[in-house]
Chain A
Amino acid sequence: MDIQLQNLRKTYGSAVAVADMSAKIPQGRMLALLGPSGCGKTTTLRMVAGFIAPTSGSIRVGATDITTLPAHKRDTGLVFQSYALFPHLSAAENIAFGLRRRGVARAEREQRVTAMLDKLKLSGLADRLPRQLSGGQQQRVAVARALVINPSILLLDEPFSNLDAKLRESTGLEMSRLQREFGLTSIFVTHDQTEAMSIADTIAVMKDGELQQIGSASEIYERPANRFVADFIGRANFLAGRILRREGQDAVAELAAGLEMRLLDPGAAALPGAQGEALLRPEAIALADHASPGSFKATVEQISYQGAIANLHARLADGSAIVASVPPEDARGLAPGKLVGLAPKPAALIWFAKS
Chain B
Amino acid sequence: MTISFRSPLGFVLLLLAVLAFGYLLLPILVVVAAPLGDTGYLAFPPRGLTFKWYAAALHDTRYLSALAVSLRIALTSALIACTIGVAAAYGLTRFSFPGRRLLEAIFLSPLILPTLVLAVGLTLFFTRTGLLVGSWKLVAAHVIVCTPYVLRVSLPVLRRFDRSLEEAARNLGASPVMAFFLVVLPVVRPGIVAGTVLAFITSFDEVVLALFLAEPGAPTLPVMIYSAVQLGFEPSVAAVSGLLVLATLGLMILYHLLGTFGGRRN
A residues neighboring B (CB under 8 Å): 51, 53, 70
Shortest distance from the beta carbon of A204 to any chain B beta carbon, whole Å: 27
Question: In chain A, what residue has the closest Cβ to B7?
Answer: A70
Chain A residues lying within 8 Å of B266, measured Cβ to Cβ, are none
Complex CA gap A51/B7 in Å reads 13
Interface size on B, residues (CB 8 A): 3
| B127: interface (CB < 8 Å) | no
Complex CA gap A70/B7 in Å reads 10
Chain A residues lying within 8 Å of B7, measured Cβ to Cβ, are 70
| B61: interface (CB < 8 Å) | no
Chain B residues lying within 8 Å of A70, measured Cβ to Cβ, are 7
Complex CA gap A51/B2 in Å reads 7
Count CB-based A-B contacts (< 8 Å). Answer: 3
Shortest distance from the beta carbon of A199 to any chain B beta carbon, whole Å: 30
B residues neighboring A (CB under 8 Å): 2, 4, 7
Question: In chain B, what residue has the closest Cβ to A51?
Answer: B2
The DSSP consensus for interface residues of chain A is: loop
Question: In chain B, what residue has the closest Cβ to A71?
Answer: B2
Complex CA gap A51/B1 in Å reads 9
Complex CA gap A245/B4 in Å reads 59
Complex CA gap A53/B6 in Å reads 12
Chain A residues lying within 8 Å of B2, measured Cβ to Cβ, are 51
Question: In chain B, what residue has the closest Cβ to A53?
Answer: B4
3 sampled A-B residue pairs with Cβ under 8 A: A51-B2, A53-B4, A70-B7
Complex CA gap A70/B4 in Å reads 10
The 3 closest A-B pairs by CB, nearest first: A53-B4, A51-B2, A70-B7
Complex CA gap A157/B7 in Å reads 26
Shortest distance from the beta carbon of B217 to any chain A beta carbon, whole Å: 59
Chain B residues lying within 8 Å of A51, measured Cβ to Cβ, are 2
Complex CA gap A53/B5 in Å reads 12
Complex CA gap A51/B4 in Å reads 9
Shortest distance from the beta carbon of B10 to any chain A beta carbon, whole Å: 11
Complex CA gap A53/B7 in Å reads 13
Complex CA gap A247/B255 in Å reads 70
Complex CA gap A61/B2 in Å reads 23
Shortest distance from the beta carbon of A54 to any chain B beta carbon, whole Å: 13
Complex CA gap A70/B3 in Å reads 10
Complex CA gap A51/B3 in Å reads 9
Shortest distance from the beta carbon of B85 to any chain A beta carbon, whole Å: 35
Shortest distance from the beta carbon of A154 to any chain B beta carbon, whole Å: 22
Question: In chain A, what residue has the closest Cβ to B2?
Answer: A51
Complex CA gap A70/B9 in Å reads 13
Complex CA gap A159/B2 in Å reads 21
Chain B residues lying within 8 Å of A53, measured Cβ to Cβ, are 4
Shortest distance from the beta carbon of A230 to any chain B beta carbon, whole Å: 39
Shortest distance from the beta carbon of B90 to any chain A beta carbon, whole Å: 33
